[in-house]
Amino acid sequence: MAALAFTALALPGITHDDLTRFAQEATGQRRDTHIASRQPFGGSGITTELAWLQPTPQGEVIIVYLEGDDPVRWLQQFAASQDPHDVWFKQQCLALFGVDLNQAFGPVPELFFEWRR
């Protein structure tokens, strides 16, 4: 399994409640389509998806962790997806974070420290 983590700062005016509503919708009423969305595109599915909200003086930061066969490849394929759930999810990310997930993911964050027991 490979892993990828990245962050995004919420746009000005976006509140913790806005972000929580997005997560609740993705894992609540849209749960089945969200699960289906993380399945493999040509063998590069996501098996773990975690997100944390970190308050900062500049606003809320989302910290995203993805794990799977090839998360970078999955994100690249997700960018091209026109599946209705994927389109909705990407629209939410653009509205909340200003991140256009229709664009290919890059540059990839560099893992510079790792400790495991």
Q: Would you list the domain boundaries of the chain?
A: 2-97
At 20, is the pLDDT very low, low, confident or very high (cuts 50, 70, 90)?
Answer: very high
3-state secondary structure at position 106: coil
Q: What is the CATH number of domain 2-97?
A: 3.30.70
pTM: 0.89
- Residue 42: pLDDT band with limits 50, 70, 90: low
Binned at pLDDT 50, 70 and 90, residue 90 comes out as very high
C-alpha to C-alpha distance for 27 and 29, rounded to whole angstroms: 7
CA dist list (Å): 54 to 9, 19, 69, 89: 9, 11, 27, 20
